[in-house]
Amino acid sequence: MTETVEFARMNGLGNMILVVDMRGRPDVVTPAAAIALNADPATRFDQIMAIHDPKVDGTDAFIDILNCDGTRAQACGNGTRCVVQALAAETGKKAFTFQTVAGILNAVEHADGTISVDMGKPVFEWDRIPLAEEFYDTSRIELQIGPIDDPVLHSPSVMSMGNPHAIFWVDRDPMSFDLDRFGPLLENHPMFPEKANITLAQVTSPNTMTTRTWERGAGLTLACGSAACSAGVSGARTGRTGRTVEITVASSPNRGKLTIEWREDDHVVMTGPAEWEWSGMLDPTTGAFCRDDAEAAAL
């Protein structure tokens, strides 16, 4: 077995993604390799999407997802769009079915280059999110940060899109908040036994909102697809928006947009772009890598 595998540096609205081709191999991208790759500015990432041979009939691949701290993630919508773009360019196919730890995901690339991913059904039950305390209504739970009589953030909507999310509703641009200070405290709050993704969401109309996310295991991120899905669903669930919402990701380099549709069959569909940056080879055990010769020579 060769030591190295092909990989591509991509992004989904700025969410930094490494797509690694592990097909035909029994091994995995190790946590040590993920940490080493993230330590290099050239390969710093939010998630690794490792494409493995399918484990279930009727699927195109099993996707193993790693965060930049080496932990494994259940879901990554922006990363899934990158996988679709990479495989569509390779195979000419437009529709794919993937298996992840969070379940089965269906995705399609459209003629305009945007990609829709069916992220599955949201989970609202407190013990399945999970939360450390029982809440009958998880559309608004008792949790705040800051002074008791004047909290900075409070009363989030919580849910799971394959991973736990807390949506804090704010009345101004999410970029104006010190999320790099509050994010770690909330991610690791005792309320969340498996930690949580923390999103600030500003509703700007019945069908638009602006978000910013502190991502579990990754920190401040330029974009997070499952967080956008959670914000869109939570907006509809609390009566702040309709069931289809255009989300401006405030931290995206160009304040890029995602369309989130919470369909009547309870499935959440996310539509947005993906972008290829460069490719190379890497060792999935150590994280050692090199860029393709032509691209490296052009630097």
- Catalytically active residues are 76, 224
Of 189, 184, 174, 177, the residue nearest 144 (C-alpha): 189
Q: Any alpha helices (H) in 158-211, and if so which ranges?
A: 179-187
Of 75, 243, 234, the residue nearest 161 (C-alpha): 75
Of 252, 251, 254, 232, the residue nearest 243 (C-alpha): 232
Task: Give the DSSP H or E segment for 139.
Answer: none
Angle at 123 between CA 118 and CA 129, to 5 degrees: 125
Of 276, 286, 298, the residue nearest 7 (C-alpha): 276
